[in-house]
Amino acid sequence: HVHDVFLMGGLDKGTIILCYSEEWAELCLAMYDKSVFQDSYSYYPACLSAYFFDHPEKIVERYYADYPAFLGHFYNEYKLPNEAYENLYRFIAWFDYIYNAAKEAPLLLPTLGSIMGRCGLGKDGVFPHENIRIALEKSSNDNLTCSVASGWLNSRGFHTVQDGLDEKKMELQYRGFARNMELDYPQTAKLLSIIADDYLKEAKDNQLYSELFPH
């Protein structure tokens, strides 16, 4: 596989420095576009995470240039870099650029939500990260909130159908998370309620399936 590293000359033997440059990112992007990484399951080049975080305008440009390819890349694959969670100011600048562009290109909004839905947990151990919560309150856009929930749910992957008890526990857990967020982060509370609703539906479906097709 091609890795996001340069081997730097003039250093002690065996020393490797991880580094980033836009030239390297653009090379990786060209390889990504040619599906060089398609056989590396779940691998997404770290340099591309940084590149598109530094240049949200490039995301919008790709939306207009080739929408199907844009969807395959950003709706399904793109992940925010660690810097997005370490610097609120930079994250909000990135978010604002794409969110404002979505006013003229509404189909950008669900993709923005999907990207945000693949973020990590907050300091309290609850999804989503605090920066995402702040952005959701800033926009106060229910469509975006639903898109973030969809992004999170889609990232769950496959699971085994059982009797629905585990899903019921998760539903109750997310109901509790939502109640705890209602005052400080009402949009996040809506997001968590959507996730809870999905777990409830899954619990009912799994229970019905286990009754119709007992082991």
Summarised one tens digit per residue, pLDDT across range 97-156 is 999 999 999 999 999 999 999 999 999 999 999 999 999 999 999 999 999 999 999 887
Which CA distances in Å does 54 have to 2, 19, 102, 125, 175?
Answer: 22, 15, 18, 27, 36
Quick check: 14 pLDDT over 50?
A: no
**Tokens read off for 13:** 């033997």
From CA 168, how far away is CA 199, in angstroms rounded?
A: 7
Q: Tokens 């993709």 correspond to what residue? A: 111
Q: Which residue has the tokens 């959507």?
A: 194
Cβ(53)–Cβ(95) below 8 Å: no
Q: Which amino acid is at 40?
A: S
* pTM to 2 decimal places: 0.82
- What band does 21 get if pLDDT is binned at 50, 70 and 90? confident
